C-alpha cells in the first residue's frame, strides 16, 4: 500500500506550500510579508492560504525537522544536562525531570511523585532510548542520578556540577 501525500487535494504544488510555511516559520515575517515575497517570485497566493497551510502542515514540518535533528544527534557527540525541579500539580508536589542538550533545547521531560533512583533510572532509560547515548552527562549532585547511572553502566560519562 502506498503512502498518500498530505498535499493531494491542493491545487498548489507541495514545493510552494513548503516554501511558504518555512518562510513564515523560519523568518520574522508576517503572513502578508510572505504573500508579498511569493508574489515577487510570481506566485499568486493569499495570506489566508499561507495561514491555512501553516496550521495544516506546520506540525508535520516541525516533526520532520525534529526527526532529522535526532538522527544528527545520534551521530554526534553531544553533552546533555539533566536536572529536576519541584512543581505543584493540583496542590501536590511533583518532580519535573528534564534533559537538555548543549544548545539549551529541552530533549525530554518526565513528571514523577518521587525523587529516587527508580524515577531517575526510568527517566534516563526513556531519554537514552529515544536519543541514544550522549558523550557526557552533566548533572547536579543528586545521588539518585549516580545510582541510576551506575545501574545502566554510564558512570564514566558523567560530570557533576553546572
Asked whether residue 68 falls in the same domain as residue 131, the answer is: no
| CB-based contacts of 42-51 (< 8 A; 24+ apart in sequence) | 43/16, 45/12, 45/16, 45/20, 49/12, 49/20, 50/20, 50/21, 50/24
Domain count, the chain: 2
pLDDT number for residue 41: 94
9 lies in some domain = no
149 lies in some domain = yes
- Report the side by side order of strands in the sheet with 79-89: 106-112, 92-101, 79-89, 136-139, 158-160
Q: What are phi and psi of 136, to 5 degrees?
A: -135, 150
Its pTM stands at: 0.52
Asked whether residue 93 falls in the same domain as residue 137, the answer is: yes
pLDDT number for residue 162: 46
pLDDT number for residue 116: 87
Distances (CA, A) of 128 to 110, 124, 131, 138: 13, 6, 5, 14
- SS3 assignment, position 6: coil
**d(C-alpha 135, C-alpha 76), whole Å:** 8
Which pLDDT band, with edges at 50, 70 and 90, does 124 fall under? confident
pLDDT number for residue 75: 46
CA 125 remoteness from chain centre:
17
pLDDT in tens, 5-18: 888 888 888 999 99
The Cβ of residue 66 has, within 10 Å, a number of other Cβ atoms equal to 11
pLDDT in tens, 60-113: 888 887 777 666 655 445 788 888 889 999 999 999 988 888 777 788 888 999
pLDDT number for residue 160: 46
The residues near 61 (Cβ < 8 Å, ≥ 6 apart) are 18, 21, 22, 25
Asked whether residue 70 falls in the same domain as residue 84, the answer is: no
Structural domain span for residue 39: 14-74
101 lies in some domain = yes
Asked whether residue 91 falls in the same domain as residue 140, the answer is: yes
Asked whether residue 84 falls in the same domain as residue 45, the answer is: no
pLDDT in tens, 17-26: 999 999 998 8
* DSSP 8-state code for residue 134: -
Asked whether residue 61 falls in the same domain as residue 92, the answer is: no
pLDDT in tens, 136-149: 888 887 888 888 88
Amino acid at each position: 500500500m502506498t503512502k498518500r501525500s498530505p498535499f493531494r487535494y491542493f491545487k498548489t504544488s507541495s514545493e510552494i506550500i513548503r516554501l511558504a510555511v518555512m518562510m513564515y516559520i523560519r523568518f520574522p515575517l508576517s503572513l502578508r510579508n510572505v504573500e508579498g515575497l511569493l508574489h515577487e517570485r510570481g506566485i499568486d497566493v493569499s495570506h489566508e492560504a499561507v495561514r491555512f497551510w501553516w496550521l495544516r502542515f506546520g506540525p508535520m514540518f516541525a516533526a520532520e525537522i525534529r526527526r532529522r535533528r535526532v538522527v544528527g544527534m545520534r551521530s554526534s557527540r553531544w553533552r546533555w544536562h539533566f536536572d529536576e525541579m519541584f512543581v505543584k500539580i493540583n496542590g501536590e508536589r511533583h518532580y519535573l525531570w528534564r534533559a537538555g542538550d548543549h544548545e539549551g533545547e529541552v530533549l525530554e521531560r518526565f513528571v514523577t511523585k518521587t525523587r529516587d533512583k527508580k524515577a531517575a533510572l526510568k527517566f534516563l532509560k526513556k531519554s537514552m532510548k529515544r536519543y541514544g547515548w550522549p558523550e557526557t552527562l552533566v548533572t547536579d549532585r543528586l545521588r539518585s542520578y549516580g545510582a541510576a547511572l551506575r545501574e545502566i553502566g554510564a558512570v564514566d560519562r558523567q560530570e557533576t556540577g553546572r
